[in-house]
Amino acid sequence: MRADRRGGPGDGPVPRSYKWADAGARSFIVHRGGRGGPRSAGAAGLVEFSARRVSRHTYTYCQTMMRALVLLAVAAYAAAQRELILPDPRACANRVRHAHEFRNGHHYFYSWRHRATSRHERDWLDARNICRKHCQDLVSLEDPQEARMIENAVAQDNVRYIWTSGRKCDFDDCDRPDLQPKLINGWFWSGSGQKMPPSNTRTAPNYPNWSPTGGSGRAQPDNREHDEGTGEESCVGILNNFYGDGVKWHDVACHHQKPWVCEDSDELLNYARSTSRIRIP
């Protein structure tokens, strides 16, 4: 995985940061063009037509077909890149805010409590991008109180599992001594950029709340799927008594699909407010 240089839209301030396609908190995808969207040759640039040789109907039809091909190519490229997305100011203004979970100036969104997403499960990056579109990010459990609030919601609503923004630094430039060994010292909250405490320590009762067991019977995180040859367990989910262990944190392969919790992102809210005239609460 490579570092991507991230930029903002064609007009407005550009956040100057280098982050990761599936990891960093303060990340923006490279916008490959101006207001017209991704930079491409465009329909007119792909094929030159002569009005003398083809009818107006044929020209219009071919132009429409070429535009469709360009859009399909752009969609395929975006799917292949799997990058973080920019917030949508209108979606930010209309984001669902569970006011009863308002904390530290942030609102939260529980996917299973919202009718439109109540039956949806997404992989870690898709869930993160849904949050980011609405000026939020996957929830970062930065202190015991916040962790307890989210864990209680999972238990109360009998949700089997959810995604958090927890991520293991196991990509390029993660070979710093302070991140070794990664299974203990390499964890951080991608929604805020804050490093987690070592996974083998407790800074408060049940915090960090890693499970003492898992699919292999070992304390979490254990990177079990890597040992089984099926991939890395690089993302952090909360599982609800999945292994008879109560509501606990587990390292999970990021491709698994789960419900999710979003949390307001100050950075994305400020960005959307500074680049749009839409009033965003």
DSSP string, 184-203: HH-EEETTTTEEPPPTT--S
**Residues 138, 119: Cα–Cα separation, whole Å:** 18
Q: How confident is the model at residue 102 (pLDDT cuts 50, 70, 90)?
A: confident
State the chain's mean pLDDT as an integer.
Answer: 80
Mean pLDDT of 193-222: 96
135 DSSP 8-state letter: T
The residues near 179 (Cβ < 8 Å, ≥ 6 apart) are 169, 185, 186
Q: pTM for the full model? A: 0.73
Q: Is the predicted pLDDT of residue 16 greater than 90, yes or no?
A: no
Greater model confidence, 81 or 178: 178
Mean pLDDT of 199-206: 96
Q: How confident is the model at residue 51 (pLDDT cuts 50, 70, 90)?
A: very low
Greater model confidence, 81 or 35: 81
**Residues 100, 266: Cα–Cα separation, whole Å:** 19
Other CB atoms within 10 Å distance of the CB of residue 140: 25
| CA dihedral for 16, 123, 118, 109, sign (positive or negative) | negative
Domain spans, the chain: 3-86, 89-264
Class of domain 89-264: alpha beta
Greater model confidence, 7 or 259: 259
Instruction: Give the range among 72-86, 189-203, 264-278 with minimum mean pLDDT.
Output: 72-86
